[in-house]
A = this chain, B = another copy of it.
C-alpha cells in the first residue's frame, strides 16, 4: 500500500572493492566535532535515521560528543552540527563491570576512533572497548570486556541530551523479554524546536544469553524484575554476563518511532553478528556518494577536509520513510530539517546537484508535512515543526528544486503551501512556522520594528517571495508571478538611505509601523542578536548585502558598481569595529564577515554581480585556507546539518549556488582535476590547470571546449556533463569582467 521509495543505491551496484578508490578513507568524522562545530562523529548511513554515537557528561553538547569528558552512554539519535538547544540522544546503551549502579557509571575514555560507519572507544574505568556501527534504523553494539563475572550492558531510558532550550523527560518503560532481549521506549519533549512529546521505541537482541538481569526505576534497582511501567518515571534495564573466556558481547538495537515490534523488525536489518559486515555495508553506501566527486592532484589534507565536508552534507535530513507515527501517506517522509534557514543555502543545493532523487523526496516530504501539519516548516525534528528563524525558507528549497528540474515533486501543491506561508498569519505560533510579522509585511510592505526580527524577516521574505514568483512563473501562473515579483522588492522598504557607516551610505534599518525609522543611540549597524532582535544572528552591515534575487538593484542602492565593490571589500577587510560580544558566541570573523554563520554564506560570491570574480577567488581561498582544517575544531561554526560542509565542498570545486535560482557563481577551483559523476551517470570533468595555493585566480575558462567569459553557470550546464576547463594564475585577472552578469529580478521585472 505504500510506495517504497528506493534510494538510488549503488550507482554501479558494486561492492567496496569495485570502487576505483575507497573515498571513506579520506573522511574523518571527528573534523568539526569539537569546539562548537557539533559535527556528529558516530556511525550512520547517508540520511540514516539511526545516528549511533557517544554522549559525554553532562549531556550538554549538541551531537553528544565532548572531548576530554567521560562517556556516559551510546545513543541512537543525533543531529549533525546543530546549534542552540540540544535535541535527541535517545536510547542510551552503556557497558560497565562490577555491581550495577545506575547513578554512577560514566567512564573516562581513551583512543576514540571515528570512521565512516564505525566508532570505537575505550571505556577506561572498566577496561571495556566499545565499537559501534549502524544500519538505517538499527545500531550495532560490540563491547569487549575484560574477563569478569560481572560484565554489564544496560539501557538507561532516563538519559538524553539537554542543554539550553532544554529537552525534558516525559516517561519511559522497559521490559526484559528473555535472556537475550530487552525492549522499551523513552518519551521526551522540548529541545530547540519546543517539540511536543515524542516517543522512541527500541528492541535489543544480544548474541549472548545473560547470566542475570534487572531493571531500575527512579534510581532504585530491582534485580530480577523484568519490567517497569511508565509513571512519568525514568527507568532502565541491565544484563549481566560472565565474560570469562567469552569477552565480547554484541547487541543489535532496532529503533522505531512507531512501536517496539517495529523496532524489532528494524533490528533485523542487521543480519550478521560480525560488526565488520555492518561497517562495510556503511562504507559501501557512503562510497556510493563520495565517489561522485573524484579529486585528483592537490593536497592530501585538503582532500581529507573536502571528503569529510562532503560526507556531512548527506547525513541529513534523515529518511523516516516507514517511520511516521503522525499520519499515513504514500509520499516520502523525511525529518531532521535543522534548520532550513541554515541548509537552504548550500546543503540542499548540493543534494539537488548530486542526489536529485533524494532532493525531490525531501521537498515532496515538506509538502506532505505542510498538508498534514499546517505549514511548511523551517525546522523539524522529532516529527514536530518548529522553530522559524527568519523567513519561510522552505520556499527556497522548492524553488531550488524547481529551477533545477528536480523530479518527484507536486509543484502545484508546493506552490499552494508557499502561498499559505505568504498569506496566513501563524499568530501565537509565529516562532513555530509560517511568517512571523506577516500582518505588517502584507499591509505596509515590511515587518516593522514592533515585531521581533523585523529586518531579517523582511529581507528573507523578499527572497522567499522571489522563490514563489519563480515557481509561479514556471507553472504559468502569471498573476501570482507578478504579485510576488513585486513583493520581492519589499526589502527596499527597509533600506534607509540616510544611515551612514565608515563612509558608506544606505543600510538595512528597522522601521516603525508608522513609517518612521528606528532611532536608538544603542542600535547601530553592528547590533546583532537572536530571536528578539531586529537582525537575527546578523547585523545591518552584513544583512545589507542579502538581496540574492536582485543584486542589480542592491548595487544601484549602494551607489553603483564602484561603491558596492568598495563596500564589499571593506566588509571583508576591515576588522569588526566594536566589541564582538555583540555577535553570537561561536562567531569567527573575516573582517566583518561572520564566516561561522549562514547569513554571510553568499557574500564572498557577490563580486560576480559586478564582474570581479577575482575578488571572490581571493576571499574564498582565504576562508578555505584559514577557517577550515583537519581537526576537531576545524569547522568555523556549528556545522548546521552540513551547511559548513557544503560551503566548503562547493567552493573547493570552484562554484557556489545562489539557492533557489538557476545560478552557480564561480569562485576558484582548488584541485587540478575533479570528476563529478551525477546521479544519471553523466560526468563533468573540471580541470584547473596550474591550480595551487598561489594560483588561485582564473585566467581563462572553457565549457565543453568553448570559451566561457561569464563567471557563473547554469545547472543544466553542469549536469549535462562534459568538460569545464580553467587555467589558473597567481595574479588577479580580468577574466569574465565584461561577461554577462548573473540575472537579477530587476532585469525581468520592475515595479
Q: Which of A's residues lie within 8 Å of B, judged by CB?
A: 1-2, 168-171, 173-175, 185, 187, 189, 196-197, 199, 218, 227-233, 256, 258-262, 264-265, 322, 324-328, 374-375, 424-430, 434, 439
Contact residue among B171, B173, B187, B427 (Cβ-Cβ distance under 8 Å from A424): B427
- Could you write out 20 A-B pairs with CB less than 8 Å apart? A1-B218, A2-B232, A170-B325, A170-B327, A173-B258, A173-B259, A173-B261, A185-B259, A189-B326, A196-B196, A196-B326, A199-B199, A229-B259, A230-B256, A230-B259, A231-B262, A232-B258, A232-B324, A232-B328, A425-B425
CA distance A495 to B425 in the complex (A): 29
Q: State whether A262 and B230 are in contact (beta carbons under 8 Å apart), knowing that A426-B428, A429-B428 are contacts in the complex.
A: yes
By a CB distance below 8 angstroms, the chain B residues around A230 are 256, 258-259, 261-262
Contact residue among B199, B324, B328, B429 (Cβ-Cβ distance under 8 Å from A169): B328
Identical chains in the assembly: 2
By a CB distance below 8 angstroms, the chain B residues around A229 are 258-259, 261-262, 264-265
By a CB distance below 8 angstroms, the chain B residues around A228 are 261
Closest chain-B Cβ to A656's Cβ sits at a distance in Å of 35
By a CB distance below 8 angstroms, the chain B residues around A196 are 196, 326
Instruction: Please give me the residue from chain B that is nearest to A218 by CB atom.
Output: B1
Q: State whether A327 and B168 are in contact (beta carbons under 8 Å apart), knowing that A232-B2, A262-B231 are contacts in the complex.
A: yes
Q: State whether A325 and B187 are in contact (beta carbons under 8 Å apart), knowing that A426-B428, A427-B426 are contacts in the complex.
A: yes
Closest chain-B Cβ to A470's Cβ sits at a distance in Å of 25
B325 touches A171 (CB 8 A): yes
By a CB distance below 8 angstroms, the chain B residues around A260 are 173
CA distance A428 to B261 in the complex (A): 37
CA distance A693 to B265 in the complex (A): 69
CA distance A461 to B464 in the complex (A): 37
Closest chain-B Cβ to A263's Cβ sits at a distance in Å of 8
Closest chain-B Cβ to A430's Cβ sits at a distance in Å of 7
Closest chain-B Cβ to A310's Cβ sits at a distance in Å of 33
Instruction: Please give me the residue from chain B that is nearest to A227 by CB atom.
Output: B261
Q: State whether A171 and B231 are in contact (beta carbons under 8 Å apart), knowing that A325-B187, A427-B428 are contacts in the complex.
A: no
Instruction: Please give me the residue from chain B that is nearest to A169 by CB atom.
Output: B328
Q: State whether A428 and B375 are in contact (beta carbons under 8 Å apart), knowing that A2-B231, A187-B325, A328-B232 are contacts in the complex.
A: yes
Q: Which of A197, A229, A231, A262 has the most CB of B within 10 A?
A: A229
Contact residue among B185, B259, B374 (Cβ-Cβ distance under 8 Å from A428): B374
Q: Which of A170, A227, A228, A428 has the most CB of B within 10 A?
A: A428
By a CB distance below 8 angstroms, the chain B residues around A327 are 168, 170, 189, 197
Closest chain-B Cβ to A279's Cβ sits at a distance in Å of 26
Closest chain-B Cβ to A296's Cβ sits at a distance in Å of 45
By a CB distance below 8 angstroms, the chain B residues around A227 are 261, 264
CA distance A428 to B427 in the complex (A): 6
Instruction: Please give me the residue from chain B that is nearest to A185 by CB atom.
Output: B259
Contact residue among B170, B256, B259, B262 (Cβ-Cβ distance under 8 Å from A328): B170
By a CB distance below 8 angstroms, the chain B residues around A262 are 173, 229-231
